[in-house]
Chains A and B, each alone.
Chain A
Amino acid sequence: MALTRREFIKVTGLGLAASSLGMLGFGAAGVAQAAAVRPFKLTHATETRNTCTYCSVACGILIYSMGDRAKNARSNIIHIEGDPDHPVNRGTLCPKGTALLDVVHAPTRLKAPRYRPPGGTEFKEVSWDFALDRIAKLMKEDRDKHFIARNAAGTTVNRWTSTGMLAASASSNETAYLTWKVARSLGMVVFDNQARV
């Protein structure tokens, strides 16, 4: 097919806009408007290849953001759609993948570390240093107190059973590997990921 990527996006974009706007009853006027707005919005955007964060079909996606990635500029993601080159999804997305933009910008995205003291009735924002210093201190206190170097039979076992960890199911392999290194170097055995469930 002799379409460039941009043209392809324009065509499929139009198709999508036509069907959904048509459903909403905007008719021809809405379609015309979409045709004008959509290519405009994407020409100025930066395209980044990524993968849907939900299920393991792992659909290829294209993320469009504003901002030129200059050092101090913050990019803002404005649009996400299926990657037409991807051999599995071939540009399609399901109702979850289609709405990825809404999870990126969810009002319940967390923006600062928060802390709730014993007996507290609400969270308060704290600094990263406060949170990580305190977590490390609590972990060390517990590890030093409960670490099992030898079992009852005198065998070296070097395990820590009194603090546990669950690892993410949507984090990268690289995050997983680093997490594994840290957890096991501490001797953690109460350690699982979503695959257990």
Chain B
Amino acid sequence: MTNTWQDIKNANLVIVMGGNAAEAHPCGFKWVIEAKIENGAKLVVVDPRFTRTASVADYYAPIRPGTDIAFLSGVIRYLLEQDAIQHQYVRAYTNASLVVKEGFAFENGLFSGYNEETHSYDRSSWDYELDEQGFAKSDDSWQHPRCVINLLRQHVSRYTPETVSRICGTPQDKFLHICGLIAATAAPDKAMTSLFALGWTQHSVGSQNIRTMAMIQLLLGNIGVAGGGMNALRGHSNIQGLTDVGLLSNLMPGYLNLPLDKETSLDEYMKTKQYKPLRPGQTSYWQNYRKFVVSLQKAIYGDAATQDNNWAYDWLPKLDVPMYDIIRAFEMMNNGQLTGYICQGFNPLQAFPDRGKIRRGLSKLKFLVTMDPLDTETSRFWQDFGPQNPARSAEIQTEVFQLPTTCFAEENGSLVNSARWLQWHWKAAEAPGEAMSDIWIMSGIFHRLRELYRKEGGAFPDPILNLTWKYTDPVEPDPEELAREMNGRALADLTDPATGAVLTKAGTLLDGFAQLRDDGTTASGCWIFSGSFTEKGNQMARRDATDPREQGIAPNWAWAWPANRRILYNRASADQDGKAWNPAKPIIEWNGSRWEGIDVPDYGPTVKPSDGVGPFIMNAEGMGRLFARDLMADGPFPEHYEPLESPVENVLHPKVRSNPVARVFASDRAAFGTPQHYPYVATTYRLTEHFHFWTKHALINAILQPEEFVEIGEVLAKEKGIEQGGWVKVSSKRGEVVCKAYVTKRIKPLLVDGKPTHVIGVPLHWGFTGQARKGYGANTLTPSVGDANTQTPEFKAFLVNVEKTGAPAA
């Protein structure tokens, strides 16, 4: 989230699209109700189903799964056509005026530079035209045909209300009504907030779904302001933290990239990370990248990381592919290229697409380790549970270790919530039986390995032998010590380069990342967490809920990254002179000598407004990007591509139907179904009574929603003779689920390109362990293909068939 949960109350318009906050994030959703009651806000919901969020909305419109970009591009077209944009903001704070290189083009569904063989783009033409000094050219008059705003206008011109309706199945009048509501927030003192979740990410165009709304928010001047922003409602209690700490194939802590093969030295690696400002005088904060990397290496390898060995750069693994994501991992597993797999608090047999493929993959491993408080399906994939998990144990050669761990109530530590707050929690009891913490288990495995490498030697032991482990209790390091290591400390006296005066004494915990250096005199395991655990103590444990101006910031409750900043890009909440766009809800303002307000400025605290420094300080041009340059795999502008499994052709460009840079493995492509055999669109989701595959282990939740079902609209049910509560077989090319049907008014057929299209809802919570009844799991049906940028699987739009069937034999 760019903003906080409570800040939602400041919105004038709340749009929920790509999520269902009332059911999936209930206690956060109450701030939407607060906005409605206290701020007169309107709530708009766009969703294939009439969800519980929709049931309290002021306006609801249906949409076919997988067509959000068409809808939102239509909104952009409307805003530009009606001139309903916040002009001053767009001109000063976005790249609307910058001129794009000659050679950039978009034709028949493809951007310039497409290579049909590799299914990828040469992105060199997706950038600005530079002047002699290397700055991007700008045309403030917006006359230049290649300035961003004109290219955007041209790009979205195809998304007329008729076309939007043809693609999305949303009636034109509903679409236009929503356009009007959105347009009203272009007023400088009005804000719309966008709340979204996996309904946007889990698509082959997931990243671009989100980008399209971010562009709308920039055009409306809704980024950085109270009640505005792009608010990703993260699904798990610490999914944000795990991402922040870089537990992803291609990441290091604090969003630093893991090096690639071609980056043969630290200097080579740094070459693509110079972040030279693209406009005069811009901050371009990533220019400090090297400080973050060197400080990380000092935290990880301590004295063994030296100037002479390039701060142990060679010890970092290098990537030969963009990432070894989960879809690739299970492809490798099925091809016999993986020996072992360790699942820490993760249940891939339930969570990953194409369950059959997951089960087959696990069966090919030599060993599988699970670490979990609960008895997961994954840890029992080898056991026969009937049709829900058919297995021939004797034939499966995988050694399986099921390790019991503590749960949240039995440990100390911090979690990052959706609003980037690091909140500390405390242990309330011992774990049951012999269950141990993940920290103890990881330490135990590591110590054994280190001992074996010490004794026997083996493949490249250096990083293992030199990993820092100076913990008071090496067997189970104290979370506070680990938190301090992430925060970072000075390794030598840090002096003022000008005067030589000591600013920070050796050994001192750092106050923030501004103190980091690239000469090996500072260590920080996660630079964005720097400031969370200082000499003043554990900032994450703070519990002062005072809220200046009652504006939903609570700056002294816990600690937020970066630098305890609660609203990202908050410089953009004020105009070029430093006055709040919305005088009723200022965040920071220029007082003549510095920026002051209720939040930590996302800006140099004494940088004068007249200096013309852009508010988007992480970007090299200092501006919000309507044109993404070369940063997205599938285009600098979003484009509507059909899901990999879709009931219709792409009406915009029939030859380029789906995302042209989607990575699809041959075996997965062979498992895609066609509309002739699988005529209905399916989408997966959560119920409010359950959390993924965990709460079926909890008695109350298992009672509340005891068994697997699918939601089917009344029209289709009638057509198929399916009764309320009757048994159905739902099948995709990859597998079938036999469960009960919930016949509902909440899903109505959509008219897509003149054809009635039915949507089937597949809640995802059931498996074969726990206290609820056995279920097949929604991932039995889902296809194995991911977003072109992140490889997040396309769970939200695929094809199935539905038939009435009899009750299974008891």
* Contact yes or no, A56 B460, CB < 8 A: no
Q: Residue of B at shortest CB range from A147?
A: B459
Known contacts A178-B442, A191-B247; A167/B373 CB under 8 A: no
A196's partner among B325, B427, B444, B449 (CB-CB below 8 A) is B325
Q: Which of A2-10, A11-19, A26-34, A83-91 contacts B (4 or more CB under 8 A)?
A: A83-91
Complex Cα spacing A112 to B432, Å = 9
Chain A residues contacting B458 (CB-CB under 8 Å) are 140, 143-144
Q: How far is the CB of A60 from chain B (nearest CB, A)?
A: 8
A41, CB-defined interface residue at 8 Å: no
Q: How far is the CB of B689 from chain A (nearest CB, A)?
A: 5
* Contact yes or no, B448 A136, CB < 8 A: yes
Chain A to chain B contacts (Cβ below 8 Å), 24 pairs: A56-B25, A60-B423, A102-B700, A109-B373, A113-B403, A115-B401, A117-B399, A120-B393, A135-B367, A138-B399, A139-B340, A166-B344, A167-B247, A167-B345, A168-B345, A169-B235, A169-B345, A170-B236, A171-B345, A174-B483, A177-B486, A179-B344, A192-B325, A197-B793
Within 8 A of B (CB), among A61-114: 63, 65, 67, 74-77, 80, 82, 85-89, 92-100, 102-104, 106-114
B407's partner among A104, A111, A112, A197 (CB-CB below 8 A) is A104
Known contacts A132-B445, A178-B442, A196-B791; A113/B240 CB under 8 A: no
Q: Residue of A at shortest CB range from B541?
A: A49
Q: How far is the CB of A180 from chain B (nearest CB, A)?
A: 6
Q: How far is the CB of B344 from chain A (nearest CB, A)?
A: 5
Known contacts A162-B340, A170-B238; A176/B247 CB under 8 A: yes
A110's partner among B383, B435, B456 (CB-CB below 8 A) is B435
Complex Cα spacing A114 to B374, Å = 12
Most chain B beta carbons < 10 A, residue from A94, A111, A122, A153: A94
* Contact yes or no, A56 B417, CB < 8 A: yes
Known contacts A58-B415, A178-B443, A185-B467; A99/B247 CB under 8 A: no
Complex Cα spacing A162 to B341, Å = 9
* Contact yes or no, B418 A56, CB < 8 A: yes
Q: Which of B108-116, B172-180, B312-320, B652-660 contacts A (4 or more CB under 8 A)?
A: B312-320
B119, CB-defined interface residue at 8 Å: no
* Contact yes or no, A50 B428, CB < 8 A: yes
Known contacts A59-B27, A98-B700; A177/B245 CB under 8 A: yes
Chain A at the B interface: SS class: mixed
Flag B14-50 by CB within 8 Å of A: 1 or 0 each. 0000000000111110110000000000000000000
Complex Cα spacing A97 to B701, Å = 10
Q: How far is the CB of B383 from chain A (nearest CB, A)?
A: 8
* Contact yes or no, B395 A119, CB < 8 A: yes
* Contact yes or no, B417 A57, CB < 8 A: yes
Within 8 A of B (CB), among A125-181: 128, 131-140, 142-144, 146-147, 149, 151, 153, 155-181
Flag A45-56 by CB within 8 Å of B: 1 or 0 each. 010111111111
* Contact yes or no, B317 A157, CB < 8 A: yes
Q: Residue of B at shortest CB range from A57?
A: B28
B339, CB-defined interface residue at 8 Å: yes
Q: Which of B78-86, B346-354, B736-744 contacts A (4 or more CB under 8 A)?
A: B346-354
* Contact yes or no, B695 A103, CB < 8 A: yes
B203, CB-defined interface residue at 8 Å: no
Q: Residue of B at shortest CB range from A55?
A: B25
B342, CB-defined interface residue at 8 Å: yes
Chain B residues contacting A97 (CB-CB under 8 Å) are 27
Q: Residue of B at shortest CB range from A117?
A: B399
B375's partner among A86, A104, A108, A131 (CB-CB below 8 A) is A108
A52's partner among B237, B396, B697, B699 (CB-CB below 8 A) is B237
Q: How far is the CB of B704 from chain A (nearest CB, A)?
A: 6
Complex Cα spacing A196 to B369, Å = 20
The 6 closest A-B pairs by CB, nearest first: A168-B345, A111-B433, A172-B413, A110-B404, A58-B417, A136-B448
A173's partner among B238, B337, B346 (CB-CB below 8 A) is B238
* Contact yes or no, B700 A164, CB < 8 A: no
Q: Residue of A at shortest CB range from B702?
A: A102
Complex Cα spacing A108 to B792, Å = 30
Chain A residues contacting B704 (CB-CB under 8 Å) are 95
Chain B residues contacting A182 (CB-CB under 8 Å) are 442, 445-446, 467
Known contacts A158-B315, A163-B341, A182-B445; A48/B329 CB under 8 A: no
* Contact yes or no, A173 B423, CB < 8 A: no
Complex Cα spacing A112 to B373, Å = 10
Chain B residues contacting A192 (CB-CB under 8 Å) are 247-249, 324-326, 329
* Contact yes or no, B543 A171, CB < 8 A: no
* Contact yes or no, A171 B438, CB < 8 A: yes
* Contact yes or no, A56 B237, CB < 8 A: yes
Q: Which residues of A contact B (CB under 8 A)?
A: 46, 48-60, 63, 65, 67, 74-77, 80, 82, 85-89, 92-100, 102-104, 106-123, 128, 131-140, 142-144, 146-147, 149, 151, 153, 155-197
* Contact yes or no, B409 A77, CB < 8 A: yes
Known contacts A173-B238, A185-B463; A196/B326 CB under 8 A: yes
Q: How far is the CB of B479 from chain A (nearest CB, A)?
A: 4
Complex Cα spacing A117 to B255, Å = 39
Q: How far is the CB of B568 from chain A (nearest CB, A)?
A: 16
Complex Cα spacing A107 to B294, Å = 47
B253, CB-defined interface residue at 8 Å: yes
Most chain B beta carbons < 10 A, residue from A76, A114, A116: A116
Complex Cα spacing A178 to B468, Å = 10
* Contact yes or no, A55 B460, CB < 8 A: no
* Contact yes or no, A118 B694, CB < 8 A: no
Complex Cα spacing A93 to B29, Å = 12
B512, CB-defined interface residue at 8 Å: no
* Contact yes or no, B413 A194, CB < 8 A: no
B105, CB-defined interface residue at 8 Å: no
* Contact yes or no, A171 B344, CB < 8 A: yes
* Contact yes or no, B239 A193, CB < 8 A: yes
Chain A residues contacting B554 (CB-CB under 8 Å) are 87
B104, CB-defined interface residue at 8 Å: no
B338, CB-defined interface residue at 8 Å: yes
Complex Cα spacing A192 to B233, Å = 20
Q: Residue of B at shortest CB range from A96?
A: B691
Within 8 A of A (CB), among B419-446: 421-423, 425-430, 432-439, 441-446
B127, CB-defined interface residue at 8 Å: no
* Contact yes or no, B339 A113, CB < 8 A: no
Complex Cα spacing A160 to B235, Å = 30
A118's partner among B314, B397, B415, B697 (CB-CB below 8 A) is B397
* Contact yes or no, B460 A158, CB < 8 A: yes
A119's partner among B248, B249, B394 (CB-CB below 8 A) is B394
Flag B383-394 by CB within 8 Å of A: 1 or 0 each. 100000000011
* Contact yes or no, A177 B525, CB < 8 A: yes
B246, CB-defined interface residue at 8 Å: yes
Chain B residues contacting A176 (CB-CB under 8 Å) are 238, 241-242, 245, 247
Q: Residue of B at shortest CB range from A99?
A: B700
Chain B residues contacting A77 (CB-CB under 8 Å) are 409, 428-429
* Contact yes or no, B340 A116, CB < 8 A: no
Chain A residues contacting B319 (CB-CB under 8 Å) are 159, 189
Most chain A beta carbons < 10 A, residue from B236, B367, B458: B236
Most chain A beta carbons < 10 A, residue from B341, B343, B459, B543: B459
Complex Cα spacing A82 to B697, Å = 21
Chain B residues contacting A149 (CB-CB under 8 Å) are 459-460
Known contacts A95-B688, A108-B769; A113/B400 CB under 8 A: no
Q: Residue of A at shortest CB range from B469?
A: A181
A172's partner among B404, B452, B479 (CB-CB below 8 A) is B479
A167's partner among B4, B244, B344, B411 (CB-CB below 8 A) is B344
Flag B244-281 by CB within 8 Å of A: 1 or 0 each. 11111100110000100110100000000000000000
Chain B residues contacting A100 (CB-CB under 8 Å) are 409, 698
Complex Cα spacing A84 to B793, Å = 38
